[in-house]
Amino acid sequence: MSKYITTPIYYVNGEAHIGHAYTTFMADTMARYEKLKGEDTYFLTGTDEHGQKIEESAQKNNKPTQEFADEISATFKNLWDEFEIGYDKFIRTTDSDHKMGVQKAFEVMYAKGDIYKDFYEGHYCVSCETFFPETQLIDGEFCPDCGRTTTIVKEESYFFKLSKYEDRLLKLYEDQPDFILPLSRGNEVVNFVKGGLRDLSVTRTSFTWGVQMPKSLNDDKHVMYVWLDALMNYITALGYGKDDANMNYWPASTHFVGKDILRFHAIYWPAFLMSLDIPLPKHIAAHGWWTRDGEKMSKSKGNVIAPKEVADAYGVENLRYFMLREVPFGQDGDFSQRAFIDRINSELSNDLGNLLNRIIGMSGKYSDFEIDSVDVEKYHAKELDAMNQALGNLDAFMDNMQTHRYLEELWKLFSIGNTAITEHEPWVKMKNDKKDEALATVALVANILAKASIMLSPFMPRTTETIADALNFKIDTQSYNELVIDKKLLKLFNIKKVPPLFPRVEEPLIPEAPIAQPNAPKEPQEAKKDTSTDDDNLIEIGQFFETSLKVGVVIEAEEVPKSKKLLKLQVDLGEDSPRQVVAGIKEFYSAESLIDTQVCVVANLKPAKLMGMMSEGMLLAAKDEDGLCLIRPEKPKKVGTPIG
Ligand code: MSP
């Protein structure tokens, strides 16, 4: 049976960040795993290029929309190519084949009576490209997902009869309990559907950057809703609406998605497919959200990490390993350099890298680099049993996307190898004239490394290729079948020396995240400047003085309801009226404790709206693992005193 694995297609309104890299690593690893097992596997990724959000981003960048989309889409493709992501197709929703496929799907659903024309009036969040009912809005105005202001949109629209599929969807979740993975995420979807589904507006007339309506409808005013367009990519990539060339891969085995877009994939997508009479995907696997040093990443905080920056510093395969080892699939994960460095040094360098070095060294001394498995079973039956048991457990972890458990289990092999060396002390055996025993231990470890490399190869393809090369074999389906499935041992061979695979890392290799302050709106270019590593980013003194820093006094402070982090302050800077500053410091300061205290304020930031409140400045603060503290004048100063 063939396999079909997909990532979400990424919006082209900004460059890739670590969250995008995670989904892509996850899907790539899964696809490589299936290919290793000999499954005929198709792996799709790509970019989502239509919708108001992209149109607006292009305008902000003063570029024609298509040109803008081309540029950003290329940054994703180039990055995945540089990271050696083994996709079989990179789809763009501006591809003409895709657009044709979407139009065909629309026609089929329309002909079936599942799409009708009406009027829509509702609150729309452009950033999330989603309508929200008034009851879900914060303070009747702000988007419940991102906190931005929504706008009221009234327009003629085509609607998809989502409500018609409510019962069939509920039956789907019941009959196929692993449709949504991890299982714990299923409930929220079921509850949402049980709450009642309203028909879905699937066209827009307020902008033009979208797939045109099918000619047969003769209604040029409308373009397709971006989510209808985007979800269809999973079948248009296989030739739906054109030649069905690769539709034999359908239904998808797994659509990997972030938890924020689960609803679209677990409700709208199966309903569209039901309407099209196309079989449903097997799994929608939703992963959690990545934070950086415990903070949500955002351009405005300047703490977004570019995956390329991390990969350039630490190696892309180390990054893959870290991300897939660190977080139980489905849960949120935190990117911290400390945790990353610990895993490189202890798991990759000590457990794996040293084991390889040790047997290269020993075999060089004892047998002129020759390794022979002939006596392994005789002296190491216990270790072979334990190893085979761990290897046998791996598949089940991968089936449930539990990469962290998979890697943990795989690491048992290295521990078996390291313990065997400590217990059997081959150097003592050599002295005591028991060379065959000493060589059996070295050969045991070589076999452990070979089998483990095969199973690690979907995670670290290049590194394991180097290990396999040292052990004189190739990682492919044949060696997987022989060494892992049939449990055979390596044939007589000469081991090759390799340079250390995982040099230890002593210090963080990229600048740490800037202090988190949610009220610091920054353009993407500025954010990049903050995280750049190179010395060219030293600034002139004049540039520093472009920032107006002033001493202020807090005259009022109150908590922002429904926000865990924000306090709303009125700060006197010696101007005609106090400034309102919304600051993310609620976890560290109570509102009362701030009143009548002095603070240092960035006074010439463009005002920004946070949860619907204007913020007209930013407080200086320092934050480390012990928490956050405000930077204040050592002695009270007159309000408005410039700092610098
Ligand atoms: N274009 C839609 C997907 C359409 S699929 C038919 C989209 N694009 S996105 O670029 O905004 O997000 C793509 C994926 O990145 C989503 O799965 C989202 O969950 C994921 N992530 C975005 N930020 C993330 C983190 N900070 N952490 C982990 N994943 C995150 O949504």
Per residue in 85-107, pLDDT (tens digit) is: 999 999 999 999 999 999 999 99
Q: Is 261 in the pocket of ligand 1 (CB under 6 A)?
A: yes
Domain identity same for 341 and 489: yes
Best of 125, 260, 284, 300 to mutate for ligand 1, by most ligand atoms within 8 A of CB?
260
Q: How far apart are CA 68 and CA 74, in angstroms?
A: 10
Question: Quick check: 533 pLDDT over 60?
Answer: no
- 490 neighbors 482 (Cβ within 8 angstroms): no
End-to-end alpha carbon distance in the chain = 68
Query: Which tokens belong to 179?
Result: 């449709």
Q: Over range 159-166, report the average pLDDT.
A: 98
Å from CA of 289 to ligand 1 middle: 9
Which of 473, 494, 515 is the endpoint of a domain? 494
From CA 75, how far away is CA 388, in angstroms rounded?
43
Do 364 and 475 sit in the same domain of this protein? Answer: yes
Q: Kindly tell me if the per-residue pLDDT of 638 is higher than 60.
A: yes
230 Cβ inside 6 Å of ligand 1 = yes
Helices 316-326 and 18-36 meet at what angle, rounded to 10? Answer: 90
Number of domains in the chain: 2
Q: Report yes or no on 267 lying in a domain.
A: no
What single string gives the DSSP state of each residue in 335-398? E-HHHHHHHIIIIIIIIIIHHHHHHHHHHHHHHTTEE-GGGHHHHHHHHHHHHHHHHHHHHHHH
Q: Are residues 539 and 472 in the same domain?
A: no
Question: Domain check: are 549 and 487 in the same one?
Answer: no
Same domain (yes/no): 595, 489? no
**What CA dihedral angle connects 568, 518, 22 and 132, to 10 degrees?**
50
Q: Is the CB of 371 under 6 A from ligand 1?
A: no
C-alpha 387 chain-centroid distance? 32
Would you state the pLDDT for residue 542?
A: 65
Atom 5 in ligand 1: residue holding the nearest Cα: 8
* Neighbouring residues of 57: CB distance < 8 A, sequence distance ≥ 6: 12, 13, 14, 68
**Which of the four pLDDT bands, split at 50, 70 and 90, describes residue 445?**
very high
Q: Does residue 200 form part of some domain?
A: no
623, 616 contact by CB (below 8 A): no
Cα torsion through 164, 170, 172, 174, rounded to 10? -160
Q: Where among 463, 494, 525 does a domain terminate?
A: 494
User: For ligand 1, is residue 48 a contact (CB within 6 Å)?
Assistant: yes
Q: Give the mean pLDDT of 233-252.
A: 98
Q: How confident is the model at residue 539 (pLDDT cuts 50, 70, 90)?
A: low
One domain, residues 415 and 480: yes
Predicted confidence (pLDDT) per residue in 189-240, tens digit: 999 999 999 999 999 998 999 999 999 999 999 999 999 999 999 999 999 9
Q: Mark whether 565 and 480 lie in a shared domain.
A: no
The secondary element (H helix, E strand) that includes residue 47 is strand 41-48
Q: Is position 449 within any domain? A: yes
Q: List beta partners, residue 151.
A: 124
Tell me the pLDDT band of 516, cut-offs 50, 70 and 90: very low
Q: Which of 15, 53, 257 to mutate to test the pocket of ligand 1 (most atoms within 8 A of CB)?
A: 257
Residue 102: CB atoms within 10 Å: 27
Pocket test for ligand 1, best of 17, 54, 272, 289 (most atoms within 8 A of CB): 289
pLDDT for the residue numbered 519:
45
Residue 235 CB less than 6 A away from ligand 1: no
Q: Is the CB of 23 under 6 A from ligand 1?
A: yes
Nearest residue to 90 via CA among 209, 9, 4, 15: 9
Res. 538 pLDDT band, cuts 50 70 90? low
Which ligand 1 atom is nearest residue 234's CA?
6
588 within some domain: yes
Tell me which residue of 530, 456, 451 sits closest to 292, measured CA to CA: 530
Confidence band (pLDDT; 50, 70, 90) for 529? very low
Q: What is the per-residue pLDDT across 407-417, written as a single tens digit (0 to 9) for each?
A: 999 999 999 99
| pLDDT of 522 higher than 70 | no
Find the CATH number of the domain harbouring 416: 1.10.730.10
Q: Name the average pLDDT for the chain.
A: 92
Q: What is the mean pLDDT of residues 507-523?
A: 63
Instruction: Of 246, 209, 215, give the one whose Cα is nearest residue 229.
Output: 209
Ranking 105-119, 464-478, 579-593, 604-618 by mean pLDDT, the lowest is 604-618
At residue 515 the predicted structure's pLDDT band, cuts being 50, 70 and 90, is low
- Domain membership of residue 585 (yes or no) is yes
- Please work out whether the CB of residue 594 comes within 6 Å of at least one atom of ligand 1: no
Ligand 1 geometric centre to CA of 630 (Å): 33
Phi and psi (nearest 5°) for 600?
Answer: -110, 130
CA 391 to chain centroid, in Å, comes to: 27
Packing angle of the helix pair 269-276, 166-175 (nearest 10 deg)? 110
Name the one residue in this structure whose structure tokens are 């079921």. Answer: 190
Q: Is the confidence at residue 520, as pLDDT, over 90?
A: no
For residue 598, being part of any structural domain is answered with yes
pLDDT above 90 (res 560): no
**Residue 607 belongs to a domain with what CATH number?**
2.40.50.140
Give the pLDDT score at 526: 29
Q: pLDDT grade, residue 525 (50/70/90)?
A: very low
For residues 354, 358, 361 and 365, what is the CA-based torsion angle, rounded to 10 degrees? Answer: 170
**Cβ atoms of 363 and 442 closer than 8 Å:** yes
Q: Where a domain ends, among 466, 494, 522?
A: 494
Residues 354 and 487 in one domain: yes
Distance (Å) from CA 219 to ligand 1 centroid:
32
- Do residues 370 and 467 both lie within one domain? yes
Same domain, 578 and 433: no
d(CA 440, CA 382): 13
Question: What pLDDT does residue 540 have?
Answer: 65
> Can you tell me the distance from the alpha carbon of 337 to that of 339, in angstroms, rounded to the nearest whole number?
5
Q: Give the residue, 438 or 141, on which the prediction is more confident.
A: 438
pLDDT of residue 121: 82
Highest mean pLDDT: which of 111-125, 343-357, 533-547, 557-571? 343-357
Percent of the chain with pLDDT over 70: 95
Of ligand 1's atoms, which has the minimum distance to the CA of residue 269? 6
Residue 260 in contact with ligand 1 by CB distance below 6 A:
yes
Q: What is the mean pLDDT of residues 264-293?
A: 97
Per-residue pLDDT averaged across 130-151, rounded?
84
The residue nearest atom 11 of ligand 1, judged by CA position, is: 11
pLDDT of residue 611: 76
How far lies 577's CA from each of 571, 574, 618, in Å? 9, 8, 17
Please check whether residues 465 and 355 belong to one and the same domain: yes
pTM of the predicted model, to two decimals? 0.79
Residue 467 resides in a domain: yes
Torsion of CA 292, 296, 302, 306, to 10 degrees: 50
Q: Give a yes or no: residue 409 inside a domain.
A: yes
pLDDT of residue 455: 98
Q: Give the structural domain span for 594.
A: 535-643
Mean pLDDT of 29-41: 98
Q: Please indicate, yes or no, whether residues 488 and 544 belong to a single structural domain of this protein.
A: no
CA distance 453 to 438: 23
Give dist(CA 41, CA 29) in Å, integer. Answer: 12
